[in-house]
Amino acid sequence: MKTTRRKAIEPNAKFARALTKALKNNSRLMVDGITIIPPIQAGQSWRLRASFNNRQLERKSENVLGKVNAAFLSLVAEIETLQLGALGLPEHSNKSLAEVINRYIEQGGPKHAWRGKTPANRTEDFNHLIKLAEKENLKCENLNASVVRRYLSNATASGKRAKGLIGVIKTFTKWGVGAGYFSTAQVDAVSAVVWQAPQGSNYKVAPTRREQSKLHFGTDDIAVPTHEQVSALAAELQKHYIYGEGLVHVSANLGTRANETFIFTASKKVHELGLGNYVDIAEEVVRIHWQASNGKTKAERVTKNNKFRSVVIPPVEGIPTGFDIYEWLKTRSRKALEEQAVGINPLALIFPSSKGAVMNLEYFNREKMRHALDALGWKMPAWVDAKGQPRAMYRFTLHSLRDRFGTTAADEWNYSERQLLEQGSWADSETVRKFYLGTTDETHNSVKQLHKSRKLFTKGNRAS
C-alpha cells in the first residue's frame, strides 16, 4: 500500500528560526526529546529521531520547513500515543471521531462480521454523528454525553428509535475501549444518556404494531393473520402485483423471510452461484441458502443465522386456505425458465420485479403492499412523533405471514419444536416459544369450546 504524502504544516516563528539556524550551522536541534538533524548536502532529507522504551522512532522530511514541522508533529503524536498506551489509557484518543466511525463501519463492526443489510443500516444510524463530528472537528476524546444527546436530537424524533441508536453507540464505544480510542469513563457517560422529547412537545411513545392492532381492531384480534385474512390479502395483492397471490400463500405456508422469498429461482445453476434459492420441484422443497444482498461473495449472502435449510412445500391437503402452492410453484418455475431463456428474467426468479430483477423490499412495501393493505382497510390511525410528524402503521406486514406459518406449523401441522426451529431458521428455541407458539384466534376459540364442553359435561353429570 502506497504511503500517503505528509502535508506541510507551517511552523511558528520561533521554531522556524531554530530550524533555519540548525540548517545554516549544520547543527543538531533537540526539541521535546526529539533530535532533529538537518541535511548535510543538497538533495538529502532532514531526519528526526527519538526513542521510547528502547524503541527507536524516526521520520524523514524534504528540505521544506513546513514538511519538517509536519514530520515533527507526527513523531510527537506517536510518542504521546505510546505513552498513553503504557499508562493503560486510550492511546488513540486524539484520532478523528468521524474517521474512526467510518473505519468501524468498513471493517464490519466490533467482530468484523457484519453482512447483508447491516453495514447500510449502521451507516444510517451513525450518519448524524459523523456529520456532527466533521462539523466540529471532534476527536475521540471529545465524545461525551453532551455530544450524544445533540446527536440524538438531530437523528430521531422517536423514543423507540433513540433507544436503538443508544444501543449502537454503546456497542461502538465498548469496542473503542479495547481498540484504544475511548476510556471506560466515556462508555459510562454514554450509557447514562436518555433521549428527551423537545420541550413543549406532547409526544407519547407509540404502542407496538401488535398493540395498536389489538386496540384498533378489538381485544380479541391479535397480530397473526387468520387463514381468511391471508386469502383476502392474497386476492387484493394480486391486483397490484402480478405474482401477489402466490407470494402471499407461499410466505404464509413456507415461512421464508422476504429477502429469501424474493430470490426464489427455478434455476439450480443460479442457486449454486449463490444468487437464488432453488425451488426443487422434484423433491418438493425449496433450498433456502441465500438472502437478497449487495454482498459480492457467497459468505456475504448466506441467509440469516447462517443456516442452510430445505423448506418442505406442503401439499394442498395440508393448506388451510386450499391454495395449491406446489402446483403454483411448478407452473411458475416452468414459466420463469422460459423468461430466462429469452432474457427478460436472467435469474429465473419466481417473484421478479417488473424489470425482471430482484425485488427491493422497500419498493415492494411502498408500491405494492401498502396499496393492498389500504384497500383492505388495514391502515391504523397515525400517532405523532416528537416533531409533530404523523406516523402510521398497518395491521399486518409481509413478515406477519411468517407468524402465520409458525402458528400453523405448531397448531395444525403438529411440528415439534425442533422441526419448527429448523424449517423457520429462527435463532433459538426461546424465540420459537416466545413468538410462534403463542396465542392465535384459534387458541381463543378453542378455550371457549373447552369451557362449553365442560359445561355440557357438568350438566350431563347433574342430570344423571
The pLDDT value given to residue 120 = 87
| Number of domains composing the chain | 3
Q: Which pLDDT score is estimated for 4?
A: 58
Cα–Cα dist 318/282, whole Å = 19
Is the CA virtual torsion 412, 417, 419, 424 positive or negative? Answer: positive
Q: How far is CA 121 from the centre of its chain?
A: 4
Whether residue 130 sits in one domain with residue 106: yes
Residues 260 and 368 in one domain: yes
Beta strand 277-280 with 264-265: parallel, antiparallel or unpaired?
Answer: parallel
Asked which of 356, 379, 400 is the last residue of a domain, the reply is 400
Residue 253 to residues 80, 302, 308, 412, 414, Cα–Cα distance (Å): 62, 22, 18, 12, 14
pLDDT at residue 98, rounded to an integer: 96
DSSP 436: I
Considering the domain boundaries, does residue 197 fall inside one? Answer: no
Selection from 255, 254, 232, 227 nearest residue 245 by Cα: 232
Residue 432: closest CA among 446, 447, 411: 411
Quote the pLDDT of residue 455.
58
Cα(175)–Cα(187) distance, integer angstroms: 10
Strand-pair category, 277-280 with 390-391:
unpaired
Regarding whether 386 and 237 lie in a shared domain, the answer is yes
For 156, residues 6+ apart whose C-beta sits below 8 A from its C-beta are 162, 165, 195
Based on the domain organization, do 249 and 313 belong to the same domain?
yes
Would you state the pLDDT for residue 461?
A: 55
In contact, 126 and 101? CB cutoff 8 Å: yes
Note whether residue 289 is domain-resident.
yes
Q: Please report, for the domain that includes residue 362, its CATH number.
A: 1.10.443
Q: Are 187 and 174 in contact (CB under 8 A)?
A: yes
Domain co-membership, 115 together with 229:
no
65/163 same-domain check: no
User: How would you classify the pairing of strands 264-265 and 55-61?
Assistant: unpaired
Cα(22)–Cα(16) distance, rounded to whole angstroms? 10
Burial of 311 (0-12, 13-18, 19+ CB in 10 A): buried
Domain boundary (48, 66, 86) is at 86
Given this model, what pLDDT does residue 14 score? 94
Is there a single domain that holds both residue 54 and residue 105? no
In angstroms, the CA 256 to CA 244 distance is 15
Distances (CA, A) of 183 to 26, 84, 171, 244: 44, 11, 14, 53
In 3-state terms, what secondary structure has residue 291?
coil
In a domain, 44, yes or no: yes
Let me know if residue 423 belongs to a domain: no
Supply the pLDDT for residue 125: 96
Contact at 8 Å (CB) between 20 and 62?
no
In the numeric block, the cell 406446489 is attached to 326
Say whether both 183 and 228 belong to one domain: no
Question: Which pLDDT score, from 0 to 100, does residue 294 have?
Answer: 79
At 91 the pLDDT is 81
Do 76 and 45 reside in the same domain of the chain?
A: yes
Residue 292's H or E segment, with its range, is: none
Q: Please indicate, yes or no, whether residues 179 and 112 belong to a single structural domain of this protein.
A: yes
CA–CA distance, 248 with 91 (Å, rounded to integer): 55
Domain annotation covers residue 396: yes
Asked if 369 and 391 sit in the same domain, the reply is yes
| pLDDT, tens digit only, all 464 positions of the chain | 344 577 899 999 999 999 999 999 999 999 988 999 999 888 889 999 998 877 899 999 999 999 999 999 989 888 877 777 666 668 888 899 999 999 999 999 999 888 777 888 999 999 999 999 999 999 999 999 999 999 999 999 888 899 999 999 999 999 998 888 998 889 999 989 999 888 777 788 878 887 888 878 875 556 789 999 999 999 999 999 999 999 999 999 999 999 999 999 999 999 999 999 999 999 999 999 999 987 778 888 888 878 899 999 999 999 999 999 999 999 999 999 999 999 999 999 999 999 999 999 999 999 999 999 999 999 998 888 888 888 888 999 999 999 899 989 988 998 888 888 889 888 777 777 666 655 444 544 655 676 666 655 555 555 55
For 170, other C-beta atoms within 10 Å of its C-beta total 15
In a domain, 67, yes or no: yes
- 64 in a domain, yes or no? yes
Q: Rounded to an integer, what is the distance from CA 240 to the centroid of its chain?
A: 28
- Per-state percent for the chain, helix, strand, coil, to nearest 5: 50, 10, 40
Tell me what pLDDT residue 164 has: 93
Same domain, 37 and 82: yes
pLDDT on residue 454: 62
Note down the domain range covering 284. Answer: 216-400
> Distance between the two ends of the chain, CA-based, in angstroms?
94
- What's the pLDDT score for residue 437? 58
Short-list 198, 210, 211, CA closest to 154: 198
Three-state DSSP at 413 gives coil
* Residue 71 domain-assigned (yes or no): yes
Domain end position, chosen among 347, 372, 400: 400
